[in-house]
Structure 1
Amino acid sequence: MTISLTQLRRCSVAVDLGAARTRVYLKNQGMIVDEPSVAAVNVRTGALLAVGAQAEVMDGRTPDYIRVVHPISGGTVVDIDMAQRLLRNLVGDKLRRTWRRKPSMRAAVCMPYGSEPLAQRAAVETLTGLGARRVELVDTLIAAAVGCGLPVEQPEATMIVMCGAGTTQVAVLSVGSIVAAETVPVGGNTIDHAVIQHMRLHHELMVPNQAVRPLQVMLSGDDAQASSTEVHGRDVVSGLARSVQVDTERVLKAITTPLTAILDGIGTVLRNCPPDLVADLADCGIMLAGGSALTPGLRAMIEQATSMPVHVADRPDTCAVHGLGAMLEGKVEPLHLDPLAP
């Protein structure tokens, strides 16, 4: 799927269609869009009411005739028409003016590892419907590795774990290509569901989806030392509003169960790698990227399971689009190998 850097340098726009957020990078200008991949639609008239952060706030708070949709799932466009309307409203006039000046403008888009041809076609049609004359597809893992500052083009192993909202992708890279990779159907949404189920089973409390992620943030870092956290929600039995004190240690144990699937994926990739590359990883370690890279307990679990150093990217949520933008701007140089004379 990954194309040459020469072709990428002809592109002017880089797009990262994530299940949680959509990001657009304009060449020589930087990231111009970083919004949730959410849209609110009036099902009676078909009118688009809101997109991005404004639509995300409406999730779970709308009447029956307003539906909050997610046109992108697991990095794959599942509703081309709605994805086009979402992007068109997110970019506004910033990108449309550029496309008018350059009618032959090209775009590059990140695609998950091992994506099906139908998913690739959906991404291409989404961007061509907005005016792009040519769309180049790039592996999300390679773009994220470049954005993390890893020496992807060198003949040494680099391992990246891309923790997204829908899936987690694990790969070992060398000489600008993927040597071994695995996709695990566990992401931030699965972890959120585990927290919601824990609150429902152990505290008989239904918490809103928008309150789960702040709870995880409170459990990470220095706040993880707190013994309990107050959570507001709706009582399962009475239906009334209620607040409970939640033991943070129990919540951490609840999200540990889905995280074990990520450890299995890392183990599978390491077993499929040549021994020389695995030996390189013992020194350079593993890089965590993606919006769910800061999940409480994930880094410690990987370090304990692999006995390797684990690093978290400086900007884990935007490293993919910044890496793709760096390739567009020519900041990445390929490894030049001159063919030997016969």
Structure 2
Amino acid sequence: MVKDIGIDLGTANVLINVKGRGIVLNEPSVVAIDTKSGRVLSVGSEAYQMVGRTPSNIRAIRPLKDGVIADFDMTEQMLSYFIKKLNVKGFMSRPNILICCPTNTTDIERKAIRQAAEKSGGSKVYLEEEPKVAAIGAGLDVFQPHGNMVIDIGGGTSDIAVLSLGDIVVSRSLRAAGDKLNSDIANYVRNKHNLIIGERTAEKVKMEIGSVLKGHRDETFSVRGRNVVDGLPKTITMTSDETEEAMHDTMQAMISAAKDLLSTTPPELASDIIDRGIVITGGGALLDGIDMLFSEHLKVPVMISETPLDDVALGTGKLLDHIEKSN
């Protein structure tokens, strides 16, 4: 019996949902290769440990950038590795795969995603837009004739969409999300404290003490890196308010995209959103104060999904059932 699988192909993580078994895999989207031989050394969690720590002949690469495939061969190898690891293919059988992509993906990018999934062992490959799948995973009933609004802040892209009758009515996709916030923090630390830090350290700062609201969180974190001036190791203490300052511009860009979207939403659906509120999902939903920040600017109730990191993968499972029933 071949099992259908749903894949959340994220810039930061890949999650795989196997029909009847739920989410069985959640690993970083990283591949480590030997640059001399081109051989893949490790994939996923093991490769992530190597980011920023490899000797010159080993490179840890992220094959997806801003929610789309930046390195086709590596994406295919990564997907094949994960699918093999699951052992879902029976003898002579290939699973149907449902895979998610951001709303502004071009036809060429969609073709690349589809080909990568087919080459990694899929029989029928379905592509769905991420905010729709995330909304379904978050428990919103998008198949009814009323408006639901979702803000999905992932690693590479933030997708904002209004859904009704099982489809996206209006949407915006920004290539500014978790990874951009990490680089905002790294740039801030460099400019303000003369300290160079890596992307993993910046992400740790964001997760440990990050906040998007001034004065909402009062925590500090010791940040270690390399001094710009003399090149020696140095430690500084960073506060939650400093992370707000670092991430401020990117958060404002997300807010103005959401405002822009609301201004183009049909009035009937806009009134539904005032009643039902907006749901934030994706890793960015875990940022301290994010619901209050959006609510303050958009003048609409904002809730955080219960399982923001898993919503897209959970949604693929529900959609596979839906596709099966409608076929």
Structure 1 residue 153 corresponds to structure 2 residue 143: yes
Which runs of structure 2 are paired with 1:105-144 in the superposition (5 Å)? 105-144=95-134
Please report how far the alpha carbon of residue 136 of structure 1 lies from its aligned counterpart in structure 2 after TM superposition. Answer: 0.9
Q: 1:331 to 1:81 in 2, by over 3 A?
A: closer
Structure 1 residue 19 corresponds to structure 2 residue 11: yes
Comparing 169-178 and 289-298, the one that deviates more: 289-298
Contact kept? 1:11, 1:107, Cα under 8 Å: no
Please report how far the alpha carbon of residue 333 of structure 1 lies from its aligned counterpart in structure 2 after TM superposition. Answer: 8.4
Structure 1 residue 293 corresponds to structure 2 residue 285: yes
Please report how far the alpha carbon of residue 148 of structure 1 lies from its aligned counterpart in structure 2 after TM superposition. Answer: 0.3
Please report how far the alpha carbon of residue 44 of structure 1 lies from its aligned counterpart in structure 2 after TM superposition. Answer: 0.5
Distance 1:233 1:259 in 2: 25
SS in 2 for 1:299: helix
Of 163, 181, 185, the match for 1:191 = 181
Structure 1 residue 168 corresponds to structure 2 residue 155: no
Contact kept? 2:64, 2:70, Cα under 8 Å: yes
One-letter identity of the residue aligned with 1:289:
T
Aligned to 2:254: 262
Contact kept? 1:218, 1:224, Cα under 8 Å: no
Of 279, 298, 308, the match for 2:300 = 308
Of 190, 194, 199, the match for 1:204 = 194
Q: 1:93 to 1:19 in 2, by over 3 A?
A: closer
Aligned to 1:45: 37
Contact kept? 1:28, 1:329, Cα under 8 Å: no
Q: 1:118 to 1:11 in 2, by over 3 A?
A: farther
Of 73, 79, 82, the match for 1:81 = 73
Aligned to 2:62: 70
One-letter identity of the residue aligned with 2:95:
M
Count of residue correspondences: 322
Q: 1:171 to 1:93 in 2, by over 3 A?
A: closer
Q: 1:227 to 1:18 in 2, by over 3 A?
A: closer
Distance 1:92 1:224 in 2: 45
Please report how far the alpha carbon of residue 102 of structure 1 lies from its aligned counterpart in structure 2 after TM superposition. Answer: 5.7
One-letter identity of the residue aligned with 2:301:
P
- C-alpha deviations, 1:212-258, integer Å up to 9, x for none? 2221222258x963353322221111111111122321221221111
Contact kept? 2:279, 2:304, Cα under 8 Å: yes
One-letter identity of the residue aligned with 2:228:
V
- C-alpha deviations, 1:175-225, integer Å up to 9, x for none? 11111101122111111111111111111111222122221222258x963
Distance 1:331 1:313 in 2: 24
Distance 1:294 1:227 in 2: 16
Contact kept? 2:295, 2:302, Cα under 8 Å: yes
Please report how far the alpha carbon of residue 261 of structure 1 lies from its aligned counterpart in structure 2 after TM superposition. Answer: 0.5
Please report how far the alpha carbon of residue 106 of structure 1 lies from its aligned counterpart in structure 2 after TM superposition. Answer: 1.6
SS in 2 for 1:59: coil
SS in 1 for 2:319: helix
Contact kept? 2:80, 2:121, Cα under 8 Å: no
Aligned to 1:277: 269
- C-alpha deviations, 1:50-95, integer Å up to 9, x for none? 1111111111111221111111123322222211211222233433
Q: 1:333 to 1:24 in 2, by over 3 A?
A: same
Aligned to 1:337: none
Distance 1:259 1:83 in 2: 29
Could you list the runs of 5+ residues in structure 1 that have no partner in the other structure? Answer: 1-9, 335-342
> What TM-score, normalized by structure 2, do the two folds share?
0.92
Aligned to 1:31: 23
> What TM-score, normalized by structure 1, do the two folds share?
0.88
RMSD (Å), alpha carbons: 2.1
